[in-house]
């Protein structure tokens, strides 16, 4: 029986203050990078044993502003790649 888990070898996210305000809230730039070593069925399906992700976006600190229960909203665009697979993703993250 083969495992379907993946092991993240390296993962990092860094936020850079911009000094810009949007809706009277602080705006930060976000950088994101990760490298995964794939094991089991995942590596067989993708045809590779590794996958890297790099991306960036903006983050708006909504604490005590528009929606009281939402503290931060992040818009990100990421590129995924390996020796056999590549693609882009866009997403929205909301921290409650």
The DSSP line for 65-89 is SSSTT--EEEEEEEEEE-SS-EEEE
Per-residue pLDDT averaged across 24-51, rounded?
88
- The pLDDT value recorded for residue 2 is 45
Per-residue pLDDT averaged across 41-61, rounded?
90
- The pLDDT value recorded for residue 46 is 83
- The pLDDT value recorded for residue 39 is 82
- The pLDDT value recorded for residue 66 is 64
Q: How confident is the model at residue 8 (pLDDT cuts 50, 70, 90)?
A: low
What distance in Å separates the CA atoms of residue 11 and residue 22, rounded to the nearest whole number? 29
43: its two tokens: 């590596």
11: part of which helix (H) or strand (E)?
Answer: strand 6-22
**Selection from 82, 85, 14, 79 nearest residue 53 by Cα:** 79
54: its two tokens: 């790099």
């Amino acid at each position: 029986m083969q495992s379907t888990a993946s092991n993240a070898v390296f993962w990092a996210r860094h936020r850079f203050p911009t000094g810009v305000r949007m809706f009277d809230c602080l705006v930060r730039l976000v950088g994101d990078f990760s490298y995964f070593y794939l094991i089991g069925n995942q590596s067989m399906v993708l045809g590779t044993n590794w996958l890297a992700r790099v991306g960036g976006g903006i983050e708006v600190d909504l604490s005590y502003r528009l929606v009281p229960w939402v503290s931060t909203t992040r818009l990100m665009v990421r590129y995924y790649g390996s020796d056999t697979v590549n693609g882009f993703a866009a997403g929205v993250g909301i921290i409650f």
